[in-house]
Chain A
Amino acid sequence: MNALVKPIYEEELDGLLLMEYEEFELKHPSFLVLGLPDTGLVGVISANHMVEALGMKEVAGIDVVTMMPPVAVISNGVVRPPLRIFVKDNLMALTAEAPVPPGSVYALAKMLVDYAMKRGVDYIVSIVGVASPNRINVEKPRVYWIASNEKARRLVEGLGLEGFTNGYLVGPYALILKNAIRARMPNLVLLADAYIEFPDPEAAAEVLNVLSKIAGVEIETKKLLEQAEMIRLRLRGLMKQTKQAMAEMGGPSPLMYA
């Protein structure tokens, strides 16, 4: 097997390299779902499960050219960058195998919003965990939202979700939201109550239920909940790296809730 996929298109921005491996068209209304590592790895778990459940196809990726530690992800014998992009019908999903290095966060936020516009994406949906000290006493984590504009807000209309009115976002999702507002790109941020430092598949399942309604695509979560404990075991390493990256960016620490 050839370990190299030759890109048909490349663009570079401040040490980030975006590659497309093949031509693709998105149906409309189209959604770019972001699964970047942060609190509870809710985005990572959601996006990974979505890719698997819907059988999405890997068509592009973003490499952090100067990433430390230097890592090459090998998937089925093929070298893949740490950020991988999959598509199916009207959905595009971004998954991450490593936390975004703090120094690359600005470039990544700009690249993603620009790329979404270039590809005619109608909505960027960010999936985020909210560090919730009371998470242990909650069986069904709640999902909240933040919308970059009126068009994004209309997505959650009638779903009975609470808006996220006070608090803060830290890391790539914060910059993506600000860039989206400036670019007038609809960005809906879905936030779920989550364990701060444990991978939280239950929170991911709740977000996916909301996403199914918004995107009009049924994303099954039964298997996700069945495999929850294995997912928690598998993601322990990424959770620890993410905690460290978040700390470098001034993210929430459990002691802040004392």
Chain B
Amino acid sequence: MAAFEEMEEFFERLRKRLLREAERLLAEAAMQADWTPDGGLRPLYTVYEYPDRYIILVDMAAADTSTLNVTATEDKLILEARLEQELRLSDIYGNVVGREVSLRYYRHEIPLPEDADPRNIKVNVKPNKIVEIVVPRRRSQ
């Protein structure tokens, strides 16, 4: 009896370890693929530097841009928007081997340079869902 319970416990531990390992691998794949297992996408973005301002372009393909929320803190921008509709990885890439993930939203934190002035940002959404964010630069003292 004891031996049976011991074995059961062993398998339970093994099962949990495999699950943890699978979760870890999935999280690692997500880092590479730029999606998170809970359904978030990290958008591509580019920062242009001009003498008086930074212009940040963000590619929010397939987002519902009416839900776009840009929050500025002292040192970063936080962008969030829902996708127009829930997308599965297989909708984007065709066949997916392994666990299917449903994507629902974009979220990303973009670090701001030190001389950025986050109080006066302007957000401009283009019809093709490229988002332009203008961040003024503080005059150097």
Q: Which residues of A come within 8 Å of B, CB atoms?
A: 133, 136, 195-199, 202, 228-230, 232-234, 236-237, 239-240, 254-255, 257-258
Contact = CB atoms under 8 A, between A and B. Distances in A.
Contacts of A198: 44, 46, 57, 59, 130
Q: Is the interface of A mostly helix, strand, loop or mixed?
A: helix
B61 A232 contact: yes
- Among B33, B34, B46, B49, chain A packs the most CB atoms within 10 A around the CB of B46
Given A136-B57, A195-B130, A230 B62 contact: yes
11 contacts: A136-B57, A136-B126, A198-B59, A228-B128, A230-B62, A232-B61, A232-B62, A234-B92, A237-B34, A254-B47, A255-B47
A236 B62 contact: no
Contacts of B41: 233
A136 B130 contact: yes
Given A136-B126, A198-B130, A232 B46 contact: no
Contacts, number: 60
A195 B50 CA distance: 17
Contacts of A199: 59
Contacts of B57: 136, 195, 198
B132 interface: yes
Contact of B62 (A195, A229, A237): A229
A197 B91 CA distance: 23
Interface in B87-141: 87, 91-93, 126, 128-130, 132
Contacts of A195: 46, 57, 59, 130
B48 A239 contact: no
A138 to B, nearest CB: 11
B33 to A, nearest CB: 6
A230 B89 CA distance: 11
